[in-house]
Amino acid sequence: MRPHRSQSVPLVALLFGAFAQPIVHGATQTIQEDTLKAVYTYQLGKFTEWPATKLTPSEANLNFCILGKNPFGSSALDAIQNKRVQGRRLEIEIYPSGLLPNEATATCHILFISESEKSRLRSILAQLRDSPVLTVSDIDNFAAQGGMIALVKLQQRVRFEINPMALRRSGLAVSSKLLELAKLVPDRRPGALR
């Protein structure tokens, strides 16, 4: 039997630990928004299943790629660099030009698409359409435009929206517990399969 939404609330703390807290800018005792988003994105990798062709047993690293202007400060990246995800060391790669080379499509496991790439989002997602790369962003309506997981700021907290169709199309799967916590968003692009 599926738990009620209210029973899932403690799971947020379990999944994301201390990071499920309000954002307060400029306060040293709270987590800055960019650090929170970096940690959420890293944590999402713990609840994602990649096809064996993308994440082979011999791979030592899981690559967290950032496309466009880096929205994360050094303290945000320091908070996740070299963390372990599914037994692999998290490696950060930044593509500041906004261009994602073909080899990056092959090696990136998680791709955070920066707000700076908003005007090019359609072509970026088209390039990645059938690739098993977990796409994450805080761009408005990201999930509805074909992205997989959108980080959304709501009442001073970061929440997330998931586009299940985009995940299925790419061959990725996420934990059912994660799906229960997220707002599920249909793919609203023209021609998207329902």
Model confidence, pTM: 0.84
User: What spatial distance separates the first Cα and last Cα of the chain, rounded to whole Å?
Assistant: 26
pLDDT per residue as tens digits for the range 135-163:
999 999 999 999 999 999 888 788 899 99
Q: What is the pLDDT of residue 11?
A: 40
Which tokens in the block code for residue 64? 């967290």
The pLDDT value recorded for residue 189 is 66
Instruction: Report the half-sphere exposure of 134 (CA within 13 A, side-chain side).
Output: 26
Walk me through the domains of the chain, giving residue ranges and CATH numbers: 5-184 (3.40.50.2300)
pLDDT at residue 22 tops 70: no
Q: How far apart are CA 135 and CA 132, in angstroms?
A: 9
pLDDT at 192: 53
**DSSP structure class, residue 138:** -
pLDDT digits (tens, 9 = 90+) for 83-140: 999 999 999 999 999 899 988 899 999 999 999 999 999 999 999 988 999 999 999 9
- pLDDT tens digits, one per residue of 176-187: 988 988 999 987
Tell me: pLDDT of 7 over 90.
no
30, pLDDT greater than 60: no
The secondary element (H helix, E strand) that includes residue 177 is: helix 176-181
**Whether pLDDT at 191 is above 80:** no
Report which of 128, 77, 122 is spatially closest to residue 101, judged by C-alpha positions. 128
* Element containing residue 38 per DSSP (H, E): helix 33-46
User: Using alpha carbons only, what angle is made at residue 128 by residues 124 and 131, rounded to the nearest 5 degrees?
Assistant: 170
% the chain with pLDDT above 90: 60
